[in-house]
Amino acid sequence: MEQEKQIVAVKNYTISKLGADKSGHGMDHINRVVRMARRLAIGEGVDPFLPVVAAYLHDTIDEKLVDSVDSAKAELKNYLLGQDFSAEQVATIMDVIANISFACTLDDEPLHLSPIAKIVRDADWLDAIGAIGITRAVYYGGRHRERIYDPATKPRENMSRKEYRNLADETIINHFYEKLLKLKDMLQTKTAREIAEHCQQMMYDFLNEFKAEWNAER
Q: How many CB atoms lie within 10 A of CB 169?
A: 14
CATH number of the CATH domain containing 97: 1.10.3210.50
What is the model's pLDDT at position 62? 92
Q: What is the pLDDT of residues 50-107, one digit of tens each?
A: 999 999 999 999 988 999 999 999 999 999 999 999 999 999 999 999 999 999 999 8
* Total domains, the chain: 1
Q: List strand residue ranges (DSSP E) for 46-205, in order.
A: none
Q: What is the pTM of this model?
A: 0.94
Q: Which residues contact 6 (CB under 8 A, 6 or more apart)?
A: 53, 83, 84, 85
Q: What is the mean pLDDT of residues 146-162?
A: 94
Tell me whether residue 10 is exposed, middle or buried, using C-beta atoms within 10 angstroms of its C-beta: 0 to 12, 13 to 18, 19 or more: buried
Q: For residue 80, what are the domain limits?
A: 3-214
Q: What is the pLDDT of residues 166-203, one digit of tens each?
A: 888 899 999 999 999 999 999 999 999 999 999 999 99
Contact 171, 146 (CB under 8 A): yes
Run of H or E including 72:
helix 69-82
Contact 36, 126 (CB under 8 A): yes
